[in-house]
Chain A
Amino acid sequence: MVIRSLVSVVDDDDSVRESLPDLLMEFGFAVQAFASAEEFLASDCVGRTRCLILDIAMPGMSGPDLQRELTRRGHEIPIVFITAHADEGVRPRVLELGAVACLFKPFSATALLEALNVALRVT
């Protein structure tokens, strides 16, 4: 049995949580979706997640907040940020903090796959 790499999706937007897991499964990953950073941290997926697809702007703990929290806890999970705010300033900031990629919604399947490949190569 092939053990699929677990990709976790954290986004407060319903349609992303519905659509993205299906695509990721088509890519051949195992997927877990969470509506908030807190929910993800509370789950048992943190240690198993090979790549985290993370929304930047969320109520409560934001994407970058979660990134810092994971670093603090010693989890070096490659992160691909996604955001609906097409703010060019945000990309270099999160990349500097160690993110693998930062995709602006809506992004193509190809762009997502490339980012995932980079992320998984990192590990």
Chain B
Amino acid sequence: MMDIARRAAHPHVVEPRRERTASENDLTVRLTHAEEALRARELDFQSIVESIPALVAVLTPTGQVEALNQPVLDYFGKSFEELTRWANSDAVHPDDLAHVIESRQKALESGEPYEGESRHRRADGVYRWFHVRGFPLKDTDGRILRWCFLLADIDDRKRAEAQLAGEKRLLEMVASSCALTDVLTALCKFVEDTSADCHCGVYLIDWNGPKFRIGAVPSLPRTFNDPCEGLTVSLEVGPCGVAALTKTQVIVTDFESDPLFQSCAIRPLSLAHGFRSQWSTPIFARDGHVMGTFAIFQASPASPTQVQQDLITQVTHIASIAIERALSEAALKRSEAFLAEAQHLSRIGSFAWRVATNEITWSEELYRIFEFEPHVRVTVELVLARVHPEDLALVHDMIERATSSASDFQYEHRLLMPDHSIKYLHQTAHGTRNADGELEYIGAVQDVTQRRLAEEALGKARSELAHVARVTTLGVLTASIAHEVNQPLSGIITNASTCLRMLAADPPNVEGACETARRTIRDGHRASEVITRLRALFGKKNATSEVVDLTDATREVIALLLSGLQKDRVILRAELTDDLPPVTGDRVQLQQVVLNLIMNAADSMRGVDDRPRQLVIRTERDGDDHVRLTVRDAGVGFDPHVVERLFEAFYTTKSGGMGIGLSVSRSIIESHQGRLWAASNDGPGATFSFSLPSRHAIRGLSVTDAERNAS
């Protein structure tokens, strides 16, 4: 802030101007001076031209070489006379010569300045690129007096441009996912083109071995390459082995004389193929491990120049990118293949859905699940066309919710396939907003058809099993009924026999006969009562559904049993909740269960004399939507190990009650969507409980008033 303020306060302070340093500008200035001098007086061109430290040639208006400065003579390594015949010599690169002659001629004729790029042979035989400019020097009348040609060496720039273009081409190949072999081959050729008289090879390393694998060797003969393939990566193998293991560049200037590689495996092979020098450079992955080596072989002993070193650095870097990318692409392909296989096996497809653009990405397995043709563009409409008509509303609703805000959801729906088969799908989707704030969903879709069918089959098997269980229960009931009826029948027959005997005696015992006959009648009634009671329990084919207040129903059972319990010296404590939510069910059946539990409890305490025969009956709420009844006794209890056997038919040894057993009680409770269980007390005795869903908890089972009135 202070600086700006100060600068604002001194508006006359300006930035210093940069110096013009370009040598060409410098020359132009000097030539302008020369021109002025020429106009002023006749001047010796030779002396001016000599004073310029660049390649300068002075031509006559017709193009004859008039003067050349010393740098020209030095560069070409030719005499002035030789150079006057330049068009018939090797001074200009043969490829450029025709063009140079033509352009020069055009300039001489038109008087327009000459400008062009061409290669010129240096004394050592190397052609270098030059930027050549020719200016006509005119007098005041505009007549051309001389031509002055300047040759600027631009070979380094040209080379750099060519190298850059080559590197760019290679990188483009990498970026466009060309095959690794193609990239590496192009890379080798590029180096061979750029640096004359050499052969290049890229050797990849498989560290499981470790072994060399040929990556690219475009100009090397098979007789050299075949023995190299699969060579072990070791220090003994040769320069590439050392480079890979020491992670450093290895320069063998001359195999003949290099003491370090006299006994290496590759030496005889190299010499047999006329390679005297080898430069091996490791190719590093980003994490620093060596993925391969880049080798340059040359027929004559040599060590790399700085230019060559720069080139090697560049190409090994490109090779590293290419190899690493190829490896990661291979890994990606492999993992994609794994994923596709896993999706296929698990019948799970995945999708991505960009809501704003309606762009849908569909996994291979999802195509299979939906039975879409591969590569068909998936649209919401296409998906909806597959949805089962009955589930369309559901799916529409889902899409509506999904498009309004990012949310996570899962739902199930069906597909109606073209062959009219039905598929069950389970979908899970996760909504997010991407960097642009657009809504995106990523989801998984599982084909659960088989599971569904299995579940249905299981459900069927279960109901069959339930049927078998019911039949079994009937068998148990038949036995129970037989037992219950046989007891009074036994009395009837015995009494009748006694009666007959008393009547047949002499004299007949009429009084005794009457007594036994009365007992016969009483036992008959008793048998009849058993039947009535059994009918009340099981006579109805279908259980009735009515609103039952469990506390009220329990009170009635207690009232019926109270005198019997008192006779058995059972101390009954009823802890009944008055405002229990009602349950739906068969009142008589539920009462039979209550009765059964109370009778069991009383029976279990029949032999108990060392403690009060206390029996606690409790009704209460069980969570929000259940009611529970508990009967707790202080009886003999049961072995916790046999708790489940208690509910098996016939497990009871009880003979005094109805004998329907806990198994029937349990099946009654279960038919009311409830649960019956037993637990040992901490002290003596056992606790039996059942829990029933309250009326509001059972949807679809509620009874209409009409039905209730009818029952």
Listed in ascending order, the chain A residues whose CB lies under 8 Å from chain B are 12-13, 15-16, 18-20, 22-23, 26, 57-60, 62, 82, 84-86, 104-109
Bound Cα distance from A12 to B483, whole angstroms: 13
Q: How many A-B pairs fall under 8 Å by CB?
A: 90
Kindly report which residue of chain B lies nearest to residue A84, judged by CB atoms: B486
- For B, the interface residue count at a CB cutoff of 8 angstroms equals 32
Is B488 part of the contact surface with A, judged by Cβ < 8 Å? yes
Chain B residues within an 8 Å CB radius of A58: 655
Residue of A nearest to B485 (CB): A84
Which listed segment binds A: B171-179, B280-288, B496-504?
A: B496-504
Q: What does the 1/0 interface line of B473-487 toward A look like (CB < 8 Å)?
A: 000000100111011
Are B497 and A15 interface neighbours, CB within 8 A?
no
Interchain residue pairs with CB less than 8 A apart (15): A12-B655, A13-B490, A19-B490, A19-B494, A20-B494, A22-B516, A62-B653, A84-B483, A84-B484, A84-B486, A85-B482, A86-B479, A105-B487, A105-B489, A106-B490
Q: Are A23 and B490 in contact (CB under 8 A)?
A: no
**Residue in B484, B488, B526 with the greatest tally of chain A CB atoms within 10 Å:** B488
B620 at the interface (CB under 8 A from A): no
Known: A19-B516, A84-B483, A85-B483. A105 touches B490 (CB 8 A): yes
Instruction: For A22, give its contact among B482, B498, B655 (CB under 8 Å).
Output: B498
Q: Which residues of A contact B493 (CB under 8 A)?
A: 106-109
List chain B residues, Cβ under 8 A from A20. 494
State whether the Cβ of B447 lies closer than 8 Å to any Cβ in chain A: no
Chain B residues with a Cβ under 8 A of chain A = 479, 482-484, 486-495, 497-498, 501-502, 505, 512, 516, 519, 522-523, 526, 603, 606-607, 653-656
Contact A59 to B656, CB < 8 A, known contacts A23-B494, A23-B501: yes
Which A residues lie within 8 Å of B606 (CB)? 59-60
A21 to B503, CA, bound (A): 17
- Give the distance in Å from the alpha carbon of A86 to the alpha carbon of B400 in the complex: 69
A106 contact set on B, CB distance < 8 A: 486, 489-494
CB < 8 Å neighbour of A84 from B490, B494, B512: B490
Q: Determine the main DSSP class of A at the interface with B.
A: loop
Residues of A close to B603: CB separation below 8 A: 59
CB distance from B654 to the nearest CB of A (A): 6
Bound-state Cα–Cα, A19 to B521, Å: 12
Decide if A19 touches B491 in the complex (CB within 8 Å). yes
> Which residues of chain B come closer than 8 Å to A22, judged between CB atoms?
494-495, 498, 512, 516
B654/A59 in contact, CB under 8 A: yes
Q: Are B491 and A86 in contact (CB under 8 A)?
A: no
**In the complex, A118→B602 CA distance in Å?**
40
- Bound complex: CA A104 to CA B486 (Å): 9
B contact residues around A105 at 8 Å (CB): 486-487, 489-490
**Interchain CA distance A109-B504 in the complex, whole Å:** 14
Contact flag A13-B487 (CB < 8 Å), given A58-B655, A59-B653, A62-B653: yes
Residue contact B487 to A16, C-beta cutoff 8 Å = yes
Chain B nearest CB, measured from A122 CB (Å): 23
In chain A, what residue has the closest Cβ to B509? A26
Closest to A27 in B: B501
In the A-B complex, the 3 residue pairs with the smallest Cβ-Cβ separation, listed nearest first, are: A15-B491, A109-B497, A105-B490
CA–CA, A84 and B494, complex, Å: 14
Task: List chain A residues, Cβ under 8 A from B526.
Answer: 15
CB neighbours (8 Å) of B516 from chain A are 19, 22
Q: Which residue in chain B gives the minimum CB-CB distance to A22?
A: B498
For A12, the chain B residues whose CB sits under 8 A away are: 655-656
Closest beta carbon of chain B to A15's beta carbon, Å: 3
Tell me whether B502 and A107 are in contact (CB under 8 A): no
Taking the closest CB of chain A, its distance from the CB of B376, in whole angstroms, is 71
* Nearest CB on B from A50, distance (A): 20
Using CB atoms, name the residue of chain B closest to A60: B607
Inter-chain CA distance A77–B497, complex, in Å, is 26
A40 to B607, CA, bound (A): 15
Q: A15-B487, A62-B653 are in contact. List 9 more A-B contacts (CB 8 A).
A: A23-B495, A26-B498, A59-B603, A59-B654, A85-B483, A86-B486, A106-B491, A107-B490, A109-B494
How far apart are the CA atoms of A86 and B526 in the complex, in Å? 20
Q: How far is the CB of B480 from chain A (nearest CB, A)?
A: 9
Contacts of A18 in B (CB 8 A): 491, 519
Are the CB atoms of A15 and B483 closer together than 8 Å? no
B495 smallest CB distance to A (angstroms): 4
Q: How many Å from the CB of B98 to the closest CB on chain A?
A: 123
- Cross-chain contact A15 with B523 (CB below 8 angstroms): yes
- Give Cα A60–Cα B505 distance, bound, in whole angstroms: 40
| Residues of A contacting B655 in the complex (Cβ-Cβ under 8 angstroms) | 12-13, 57-59
Chain B residues whose C-beta falls within 8 Å of the C-beta of A104 in the assembled complex: 486
Which has the most chain B C-beta neighbours within 10 Å: A19, A20, A58, A106?
A: A19
Determine the distance from Cα of A85 to Cα of B479 in the docked complex, in whole angstroms: 7
Tell me, rounded to whole Å, the shortest Cβ–Cβ distance linking A110 to chain B. 9
Residues of A within 8 A of B494 (CB): 16, 19-20, 22-23, 106, 109
Measured in the bound complex, the distance between the Cα atoms of B487 and A57 in whole Å is 12
Q: Which residue on chain A has the smallest CB distance to residue B483?
A: A84
Does B501 contact A16, Cβ atoms closer than 8 Å? Answer: no
